[in-house]
Amino acid sequence: DTGVSQDPRHKITKRGQNVTFRCDPISEHNRLYWYRQTLGQGPEFLTYFQNEAQLEKSRLLSDRFSAERPKGSFSTLEIQRTEQGDSAMYLCASSSATGNQPQHFGDGTRLSIL
């Protein structure tokens, strides 16, 4: 169990650029979640996958955001035409599908929009 890993840890980009983040979940976990966290707040849910199927999306997930989990393993989150308000920590979590199990988080990607 190597834990959830996220890449990159930090991303600085100019407004209007596209960015993509990667998440590798714990290998035996088939549920994968993306959250966004801003300073002084708890994580806010963005989207959820079970295996390769994207089953839930928050209304926070505008059409500039897209997430994939092509083979039910790693996932990517892409933000197109970034805006100042997209600056945040993007967290990935994974869990097993049995019952209400805890979600285990990676250390996030901190996105800064110039």
Partner 1 sequence: EDQVTQSPEALRLQEGESSSLNCSYTVSGLRGLFWYRQDPGKGPEFLFTLYSAGEEKEKERLKATLTKKESFLHITAPKPEDSATYLCAVPANYGQNFVFGPGTRLSVLP
Contacting positions for partner 1 (CB under 8 A): 4, 6, 31, 33, 35, 40-45, 48, 50, 55-56, 58, 91, 93, 100, 102-108, 110
Q: Strand, helix or coil at 23?
A: strand
**Cβ at position 81, least distance to partner 1 in Å:** 25
**Cβ at position 75, least distance to partner 1 in Å:** 15
Question: What is the number of other CB atoms lying within 10 angstroms of the CB of residue 5?
Answer: 15
Maximum alpha-carbon separation in the chain: 42
Q: Are 39 and 87 in contact (CB under 8 A)?
A: no
The nearer residue to partner 1, 10 or 81, going by C-beta atoms, is 10
The nearer residue to partner 1, 40 or 70, going by C-beta atoms, is 40
The nearer residue to partner 1, 18 or 41, going by C-beta atoms, is 41
Cα 77 to Cα 12, 64, 84, 101, distances in angstroms: 16, 10, 17, 23
